[in-house]
Chains A and B, each alone.
Chain A
Amino acid sequence: MRLTLMADQIALAVRDLAVHFEMEQGVVRALEGVSFDLRAGRTLGIVGESGCGKSVTARSILRILDRPGRVVGGSIVLDPGSSGSTDVLALDSNAERMRAIRGGRIGLIFQEPMTALSVHYTVGNQIIEAVRQHSDLSKQAARDRAIELLREVGIPRPELRVDAYPFQLSGGLRQRVGIAMALAGDPDILIADEPTTALDVTTQAQVLDLLRRLQAEKGIALMLITHDMGVIAEMCDDVAVMYLGRIVEYAPVETLFAAPRHPYTRALLRAVPTILAKPRQRLATIGGAVPHPGARPVGCPFHPRCSEVIEGRCTAAVPPPIPPGQAGASCFLEVPG
């Protein structure tokens, strides 16, 4: 079984992924050469301000980008190096094989558990559909499997809840349903796009516990998108910091917190409230606003907001990207010049 593969084996390799949205008003370059690996049994955290391309990355992997979004470059390879490796980007997005990967190899968990479920069908119906999409189970067997999944994600009295409509459940339960649905096709990679943002703190902790437990049990490779440095610290093995469609820093989680190398990462960390702060102490913010991806600055995209900008260098050229699989920062401070 897939689950018993060696831990740390690369389950998914993303290389130089570039995504454009071609709009009437011009091309929005949502992603510009993003590279990272997802490893079995490990968690990669992705942080960055709103609009930096986190969700676009997740959707590109599943090939469910909204129009007019288009992958214009790079590769996304499942099981790289093995004999059965597949370039996801080479598949037709509606082809049988791609659909088997979607939900079957890679599961997706959403931010908004209310809107991510259809109010017109029972949660059972929606999970059963996912189960049957990736197996030959009979209706009854699929229902049993759905109940089992609901139990697995910690929903009490799943035999009853299976027939509930999403609007009859609390936010926390709905998010668990979302996770159960993502697990329905027995994927070995999970992408969680801000899975806890819409939840209160207690529920958030429970859901994170659940994700950790599932990962440990099944050896899942988890890609965790979040705004929350606390979540990163608690959950992740490695972290990728994104800014305007690029990964600006990539590091193991301890390194990142102990010695952040990119000015943007440092700014992000300064903006995190801590209980150690003095009362009434002002929270640091990052000056300026994220430029619109349609109007990106010349040079290093962060230079207009950077406190350590090197005139003539940062304003003229884009710093080189971080080599895949290595820790580092995409910043001229790193590159002696």
Chain B
Amino acid sequence: MPPMHDALRSPPMRCLLLKDAFRHAPDRTGGAGRDTNAHAYLMLSYLLQRLGLALVTCLFISALTFLIIRLPPGDFVDAYIANLTASGSSVSHEQAEAMRREYGLDQPVLVQYARWMGRVLQGDFGVSMVWRRPVTEVIGDRLWLTMVVSLAALFLTWAIALPIGIYSAVRQYSIGDYIFTTLGFIGLAIPNFLLALILMYLGFRYLGLNVGGLFSPDYVQAPWSWARVWDLIKHLPLPAAVLALAGTAQLIRIMRANLLDELRRPYVVTARAKGLSEMRAILKYPVRAALNPFASSVAYLFPYLVSGSIVVSLVLGLPTVGPLLLQALVAQDMFLAGAIVLLLGVMTVIGTLISDILLIWIDPRIRLEGRA
């Protein structure tokens, strides 16, 4: 959701640092013959650094998750008993104490956290109170579908923002540039859940159909098959587009601003002076350079899209973890809610890490000098 607004507007910090690093690069006379071992070492240390940060992030998320689980007054057993009592059955005091011991609720908080982490690492997220089933079972495909929707939105964002960003920069102040800039502003200003709401309303009102969902009715309960996958793919564009709108608008601006910056650089003149066609000169050099901040925007874009998918899913009725999370929170089904928050966070961090590693391959300065 939009706290990333500003983040996406300006090229991410990392890229600024990159530029600095490169500006102050000491001259090296060595050339390509430099020790390849040193490169491998630098790269490895960079990788380890990213990996370490990802781990810290995951740990932080887990602590927050634990906090969320623990925050509501009373503990899990209280809630569990209240839930059972509400549905008619009763639990004795001894049973309750036994459950507390079993879940380690009589231990200090840190011990509880460690135990909980231990279980989580073994894939045991506890039992959902509302569903009376293991949390992992309740979540089922929903986590993957969340990721599929977010990734689809990510690719859509790139696929739209890249060409339009290039166009807007190369034809700065043209009519097309004005149109895209204006559209971009409007895209930025419409929160995606409102957009989803408006689309739902229009679809219902004028087409008389429910535009939400990720599957046709026939496939909602069906086991996975190619036909079901195809059905999913057919339903992806609308939610992906809704999610992608704001991000696309921001990426267009990033791309435009970066490319405008790069277009002023002397190497573009060099490329032109070689006799390259304008198209080739632009695509090979400045676009290539502007691609770096663009690609590293994934670090902010992806968490933002995952975030957004939660609210959008609620409006569009997508079978992602979004609606489940809200239900769980409202019902104070904290193990389920905690698992969802934790899994979403960790998946996002992993996604970001992968993109980071891919970035290394794009940028020769990081690859060869280990500088980031």
- Please say whether the chains A and B touch (CB closer than 8 A): yes
Q: Are A120 and B22 in contact (CB under 8 A)?
A: no
- Docked complex Cα distance between A184 and B265 (Å): 21
Question: Residue of A at shortest CB range from B371?
Answer: A167
A169-B28 in contact (CB<8A)? yes
Which residues of chain A (144-169) have a CB below 8 Å from chain B?
157, 160-165, 167-169
**Most-contacted residue by chain B among A62, A64, A161, A162 (CB, 10 A):** A64
Partner of A173 from B22, B29, B33 at Cβ < 8 Å = B29
Pick from A117, A133, A157: contact of B31, CB below 8 A.
A157
Any chain A CB within 8 A of the CB of B369?
Answer: yes
Which residues does chain B contribute within 8 Å of A101, judged by CB atoms? Answer: 275
Cβ-neighbour of A115 out of B31, B32, B267 (below 8 A):
B267
Residues of A close to B289: CB separation below 8 A: 118-120
Query: When the two chains form their complex, are residues A94 and B277 in contact, meaning their CB atoms are under 8 A apart?
Result: yes
Q: Are A120 and B364 in contact (CB under 8 A)?
A: yes
Contacts of A41 in B (CB 8 A): none
Q: Which of A29-37, A104-112, A231-239 contacts B (4 or more CB under 8 A)?
A: A104-112
Chain B residues with CB under 8 A of A157: 31, 33
Residue of A112, A118, A161, A178 ringed by the most chain B CB atoms within 10 A: A118
Tell whether A100 is near chain B: CB-to-CB under 8 Å: yes
Q: Check if B273 sits within 8 Å of A64, measured CB to CB.
A: yes
Interface residues of A, count at CB 8 A: 47
A59 on the B face (CB < 8 A): yes
* A181 with B272: CB separation less than 8 A: no
* A184–B34 CB distance below 8 A: no
Q: Are A167 and B25 in contact (CB under 8 A)?
A: yes
CB within 8 Å for A100 and B275 given contacts A116-B267, A120-B288, A167-B369: yes
Assuming the A-B contacts A161-B31, A165-B368, are A185 and B274 also in contact, with contact meaning beta carbons closer than 8 angstroms in the complex?
Answer: yes
In Å, the complex CA distance between A120 and B284 comes to: 9
Q: A62 to B276, Cβ gap below 8 A?
A: no
The verdict on A115 contacting B278 (CB below 8 Å), with A167-B25, A167-B365, A168-B34 known, is no
**A262 touches B (CB below 8 Å):** no
A99 & B32 in contact (Cβ 8 Å cutoff): no
Q: Bound complex: CA of A173 vs CA of B31, how far in Å?
A: 10
Contact B364 A164 (CB under 8 A): no
Interface residue from A103, A112, A122, A184 paired with B266 (Cβ < 8 Å) = A112
Decide if B274 touches A129 in the complex (CB within 8 Å): yes
| In the complex, per-residue mask of B285-300: 1 if CB is within 8 Å of any chain A CB, else 0 | 1001100000000000
Cβ of A170 within 8 Å of any chain B Cβ, yes or no, is yes
Cβ of A133 and Cβ of B276 under 8 Å apart? yes
Q: Does B27 contact A (CB under 8 A)?
A: yes
B22 / chain A contacts, CB cutoff of 8 Å: 119, 167
Contact A103 B273 (CB under 8 A): yes
Q: Which of A101, A161, A164, A171 has the most CB of B within 10 A?
A: A164
Please report the C-alpha to C-alpha distance between residue A255 and residue B22 in the assembled complex, in whole angstroms.
45
B281 CB to closest chain A CB, in angstroms?
9
Closest B residue to A96 by beta carbon equals B277
Question: CB-CB contacts of B50-85 with A at 8 A, as 1s and 0s?
Answer: 000000000000000000000000000000000000
Q: In the complex, A181→B285 CA distance in Å?
A: 15
Q: Is the CB of B365 within 8 A of A164?
A: no
Residues in B neighbouring A176, C-beta threshold 8 A = none
Q: Chain A contact residues: over half helix, strand or loop, or mixed?
A: loop
Interface residues of A in 240-274 (CB under 8 A from B): none
B272 touches A64 (CB 8 A): yes
Q: Which of A114-130 contact B (CB under 8 A)?
A: 115-122, 126, 129-130
Given A116-B266, A119-B365, A120-B364, CB of A170 within 8 Å of CB of B276: no
Q: Roughly how many angstroms separate A111 CA and B22 CA in the complex, as a whole number? A: 18
Distance, CA A182 to CA B272, complexed state (A): 12
In the complex, the answer to whether B275 meets A103 with C-beta atoms within 8 Å is: yes
Asked if B16 is at the interface of the complex by the 8 Å CB criterion, the answer is no
CB distance B273 to A171 under 8 Å? no
Q: Given known contacts A167-B22, A169-B29, is B275 in contact with A185 (CB within 8 Å)? A: yes
Complex-state Cα separation, A56 to B33, whole angstroms: 39
| CB-defined contacts of A134 to chain B, threshold 8 Å | 275
Q: How far is the CA of A161 from the CA of B29 in the complex (A)?
A: 10
B265 CB, min distance to chain A CBs, angstroms: 6
Which residues on the B side are within 8 Å of A173 (C-beta)? 29, 31
Closest to B273 in A: A108
Q: How far is the CA of A115 from the CA of B265 in the complex (A)?
A: 7
Which residues of B have CB within 8 Å of A168? 28, 30-32, 34, 368
Asked whether B29 lies within 8 Å of A99 as measured between CB atoms, the reply is: no
Q: Is the CB of A160 within 8 A of B32?
A: yes
Nearest B-chain residue to A127, judged by Cβ: B274
Residue of A nearest to B269 (CB): A64
The answer to whether A170 and B29 touch across the interface, beta carbons within 8 angstroms, is yes
Please name the 5 residue pairs, one residue from A and one from B, whose CB atoms are nearest each other, closest first.
A103-B275, A164-B32, A108-B273, A99-B275, A102-B275
What are 5 A-B interface contacts by the 8 Å CB criterion? A62-B272, A157-B33, A167-B365, A168-B31, A184-B274
Chain A residues close to B by CB (< 8 Å): 59, 62, 64, 66, 94, 99-104, 107-108, 110-112, 115-122, 126, 129-130, 133-134, 157, 160-165, 167-171, 173, 178, 181-182, 184-185
- New A-B pairs, 11, CB < 8 Å, besides A102-B274, A129-B274, A170-B28: A59-B269, A115-B265, A115-B266, A116-B267, A116-B270, A117-B270, A120-B364, A163-B32, A167-B365, A169-B28, A173-B29
